[in-house]
Each structure stands twice: as structure tokens, then as C-alpha cells.
Chain A
């Protein structure tokens, strides 16, 4: 099995620098990081990949059984790390990938030396004494949205993206990225993401950890960021002056700066 091809692994940046693995969340693919990568590339060896079933990965390697829980995604992370022989890498996980990183760290502690969690949430569903922001019914709505958009996708979206006049190569990639998301796969990923509960796993995180949150984030509100910060013993919480769930897109400079700052405190500036 060719893991590098399976997970569409891209290695860029400073080949001699410390390794930084950037993991995308639910919804998009490694393109999420394209505005942040240049800032890291000078000093760090940057590893990008797509989870099986997302982006440019080999969808034939996907199975509902494996990817119905976050452990399957953590398996992808560990296999990519093993394939590249990474040790003590910094794992940067966006959204649900922050928890995937926690699981991967527990399973293969030698591979991951530090965690950067970008807009993480250990549990999206409200619980007694905990406010994740969502109810199970909201997740059903999301699944309906996924299904509905898949229907109109090929007819409405593909020509628009393909025809993006300024950056045709971007349009091409995004079309592929989006169209590769089979609705069945997206549904399984959505369930694995939004029905997960990794609150109890946070206290096992013993590596230096950065938590990046946004001022306004529907999906990972600030009280969730505070929860993660309180639960992870050696964590640092940074609140970005940004809105939305994807600061690497809406505030790429600030996101990159916070990451670089964290990397420097690790003494890893190559």
C-alpha cells in the first residue's frame, strides 16, 4: 500500500527543518493551508495530506468501518508519519483534526512532539454541564445539506469553479476536491466528527500544546476553547482577532504568526 499516494501527501518547505504536519478538518482538504504554508516553508519541513475520502486521496482505500470513528483518521496520521519516518513532529490539526491529533499522539507518542489545535472542539453536542453548541438534530440538518448540495453540485458548481478566470489552476483543484467528496463519505466523516466526544482524552495530552481560537466561531465557540485549555495541562490559548471557523483562510497572517511563535518556543527554529 502506497500511503503517500493514498493520502495525497505533499512534502514542501525546508527539507532539513523540523517537520510540521498540517491536517485539514471536515469539509475541505489540504488546500485549506495554502495561505499559511509560505510562512512556514522557510524554516520548516511542511507535510500536507488529505484524509482518505477527502480531496485528492485514493477513495478506493476508504471503508465505512474504518472511517466511522476518529481512530480511523488517526490511523491515517500515524501511517503518514511512519511512512515519512517522522519523529517528534509538530502536528497542526484544524477543527476535528485537533482531536485526531490527540488520538494519534496517544497511539504513537514517539511520532508527535507537540500539538497545535486550530479551532478545536472535543465535543460538538451539548451535554450536561458542557456547551458544545449543537444538538443531534443540527447534525441531521447538516447531513441533509450535504446531500442536497451534492445533487446540485455537478450541474451548478463545477462550471463556475472550472471557469474561475483569475486562477484556473485553483478552480481545477477545488472542483476535484469538492467533487471527490462522495456524499456517503462526507456523511460518515460528518458523523464521526460531530458525534465524537474526546473530552476525556484531553487530560492525557502531555506535550506542549497551542490552542488557536477565533473571536467569533459558531462551530468552536470560545467557551469550548476555554474548556480545552483547562483540560490540557501544558497548553497555551491564543485568541485570534478573526471570525469564522477557518482562521488560516480568514486571517492567514495572524494564524501563521501564532504558529511560528509556538514553534519558536519549542526551540525548533531550524
Chain B
């Protein structure tokens, strides 16, 4: 049995117990005060240090003679700590007589900072008057770094949250701006309003699948001279900015060519040439479907001549409620073959008749979740038959 474990064995009632304790406890009060694992100090009520233990002196690298009677408690603190002491610590201590676990920073002689936790108690005299302040100081370096880590993490989390929110708002704003630009651009591709054609009503309905996807559809209605009007409707391949470029080219080509030809197929041939010249050899063929029509009012009706370039049939909704497709086969997509042929068909609209033109966006649109639920030409024809004759403003036209 070693001597060190003697006290434990002696915790019984052995005869040596008392002697062992006495040996251990000799001078212990003073020694414990001086070399305790925490700092002790006592100050007068004005903060002047009256007594301080060796532990605190060694932490701060100070000599007892420089401290006792010469320094105040707040002199041991950093400047920021002094303000905190004066504005929080001292008032509270005065008012409630004790204070525990306050985090402060002390300043060592060599300039190093020592994070500490401070507890103070006021000792009162017999008459209740405050006599002195007893203070313990614990080294809180580890605790403080842990706290700082926690704080840092919290700030990081807050910053990340703020940044994410800002990014979201920015993205939202950019999206809104883009939507605005696209909407403006889209409108620039289409006529603002349709002109008045005597004896006829005209209406257009235009809808894109998404505001972020420029539609490739284009249409126009314009007068050729005092007695004739022309219209066209087309759909360029693809969507997006490239399609929009093509759309504007197609629109202006058709409009310019239409003014100089009595035959509705000629503008389509011109557009065909334009597209082939522009896009044929770059590995990225561009084409469009289009129809071009000429309206000649007269004799109580309107003569309609319509040329097809790969475009879906037009519908004629007669005043008597019947509905027929206006179409001729063989009209080639515009922009595919140099020798393209564009077929022409003709009809006459009587009072109450409606000519309905559409792009394949309508027949290709998926109305349900799968391809099998596509609207389809048959669907459109039967729908139109059920609703003929509609007023122009209520139907998807041209």
C-alpha cells in the first residue's frame, strides 16, 4: 500500500487519520487562497485592490506591489471591458449585492488578453454598510473560444440565410425583368391591332406556352390597295430568340412581297428563297409553315384565295352551322426545298361565315398529361362544328 492512498484507507477510523489530515491541511487556508485554480481579489468599494492571490497575478504577469493599493479592479480590464464594467457590472453589483459569471476580458502585462468569468459579492459590515467586494476570476479561455465558435456559426448561418434570401429576390427580379423584355419583344413581332376591313370583323388570339419562351407564331392583316386586303399566319420551327429572329424576318418578307403580287403563292415563294439563302448551308435548317391569303370583298361576299406552305388546314364556319376544312394538299414547308411548290385554294365567304386560321400550336397542344390527349385536328374540327357560327371575338382566330 502506497503512502498516497493512505487517506482513503484512513477514511475509516484508523488511528493515523487525524495526523494525516493535519499534515495535508497545514497552512491550507493561506496556501489555498494563493494558489487556488482561480483568481481571487478583494477591493474597496471604490474598486481599489486590497488583496489579490498569486494565481491571478501570475495569469496577468503582474507584481503584487504594483497592484495592491495602486490599481482598481477595472484597471485590470480591457477598455471595452471597463465600459461594460461601469455600465452593467458595477451598477448591478451595487443594487443586488452579488453578481456571478459575468464574461469580461482582462489585460495582462504583456498585452495579451485573458477571457475570464467574474463573480463578485459585497461584504457588508454589522450595520449593513458595504465594506468591500470579494471577487473570483475563472479562466474562460476555452469556454470563450467555444462561445465564439457558436457565435461565428450563428452569424454564418444568418449570413447564409440572408444571402440565400437576397439571391432569391434577385433571381425573382431578374425573372420579372426578363418576362417584361420577352413580352415586349413578343409584341413587337405582332401587329398591335388589326385594321378595319369593311364588311368584315377580324380578331386574333395569341397565347404562348410560357412567358419565357418566345412563340414562333406570326400573323398580320393589311390592305393591299383600296379594294383588297392580305393576311398571313405562320409558325416558325423552334422557339426562343432564334425563332423570334426568324419570325420577324418572315413577317417583313411576306408583307413586302405581298404588296407586289396578285397571287397569294408568290409571297410564300419569296419567303422560301429568303430562308434558304439565309439558313440552308449552316447545318441548322430553319423553316416555317405559313399560309397567305388575299381578301377581295364584292358582290355581297368576300372572295378568299389562300396559299398553303406546309400549314394546317383553315376552317370555314358557315352561317348555317356547318363547318368545312379549307385545304389543298401539296403545299410544302417554307424554307426546305429550293423548288418548293405552294398550292392555292379558293372560297367565298357569305354574310355570317367565319374563316378560322390557326397554327399547329393549337393542334399540338397537349390537353392532358400524355401525347394521346393532344387536341388534334379532328378535335378542333368537331369543336368548331359544335360552336359554329361564333362571333369573331370569341373564337381563336385568325
Task: Name A's B-contacting residues (CB within 8 A).
Answer: 25-28, 31-32, 34, 95, 134-135, 137-149, 151-152, 156-157, 160-161, 164, 166-167, 170-171, 174, 178, 194, 216-219, 242-246, 249-250
Contacts and interface: CB of A to CB of B under 8 A. Distances in A.
A244 B86 contact: yes
A32 B115 CA distance: 28
28 contacts: A25-B87, A27-B86, A28-B87, A31-B95, A34-B95, A139-B80, A141-B79, A141-B83, A142-B84, A144-B105, A149-B84, A152-B101, A152-B103, A152-B147, A156-B117, A157-B100, A157-B101, A164-B96, A216-B72, A219-B83, A219-B86, A243-B72, A244-B47, A245-B87, A246-B94, A249-B94, A249-B95, A250-B45
A138 B79 contact: yes
The 10 A-B residue pairs with the shortest CB-CB distance, nearest first, are A141-B80, A27-B87, A156-B101, A243-B46, A138-B79, A142-B80, A245-B86, A145-B84, A249-B94, A148-B103
Interface residues of chain B: helix, strand, loop or mixed (majority): helix
B73 to A, nearest CB: 10
B150 A151 contact: yes
B98 A160 contact: yes
Given A152-B103, A157-B100, A194 B150 contact: no
B91 interface: yes
Nearest to A148: B103
Interface string B34-67: 0000000000011100000000000000000000
B89 to A, nearest CB: 9
Contact of B82 (A27, A135, A147, A218): A218
A16 B95 CA distance: 30
Nearest to A151: B147
B361 interface: no
A125 B265 CA distance: 87
Contact of B103 (A34, A139, A149, A171): A149
B173 interface: no
B337 interface: no
B88 interface: yes
A54 B7 CA distance: 56
A27 B99 contact: no
A31 B100 CA distance: 20
B11 interface: no
Interface string B161-201: 00000000000000000000000000000000000000000
A178 B100 CA distance: 14
Q: Size range of the interface on B? A: 35 or more
Contacts of B144: 148
A28 B92 contact: yes
Contacts of B81: 141-142, 145
Contacts of A218: 74, 82-83, 86
B78 interface: yes
Contacts of A152: 101, 103, 117, 147
Contacts of A34: 95
B151 interface: yes
Interface of B: 45-47, 72, 74, 78-84, 86-88, 90-92, 94-105, 115, 117, 144, 147, 150-151
Contacts of B90: 244-246, 249-250
A7 B109 CA distance: 44
B102 A166 contact: no
Contact of A170 (B87, B88, B96): B96
B95 A170 contact: yes
A86 to B, nearest CB: 27
A145 B74 CA distance: 14
Contact of A246 (B80, B86, B99): B86
A80 B87 CA distance: 24
Nearest to B151: A147
A249 B92 CA distance: 9
A194 to B, nearest CB: 7
Contacts of A217: 86
A135 B101 contact: no
Contacts of B105: 141, 144-145
Contact of A148 (B46, B74, B91, B147): B147
Nearest to B94: A249
A218 B104 CA distance: 16
A103 B105 CA distance: 34
Given A218-B86, A244-B90, A249-B90, 8 more contacts: A148-B103, A151-B147, A156-B100, A156-B117, A170-B96, A216-B47, A219-B83, A242-B46
B27 to A, nearest CB: 32
Contacts of B95: 31, 34, 170, 174, 249
Contact of A27 (B45, B91, B100, B147): B91
B101 A250 contact: no
Contacts of A219: 82-83, 86-87
A142 B100 contact: no
A171 B150 CA distance: 29
Contacts of B94: 246, 249-250
Contacts of B78: 138, 141
Contacts of A148: 103, 115, 144, 147
Nearest to B92: A174
Contacts of B147: 148, 151-152
A242 B83 CA distance: 17
A156 to B, nearest CB: 3
B101 A95 contact: no
A137 B98 CA distance: 30
A9 to B, nearest CB: 21
Given A31-B95, A95-B87, A148-B144, A135 B79 contact: yes
A122 to B, nearest CB: 16
B398 to A, nearest CB: 57
B91 A246 contact: yes
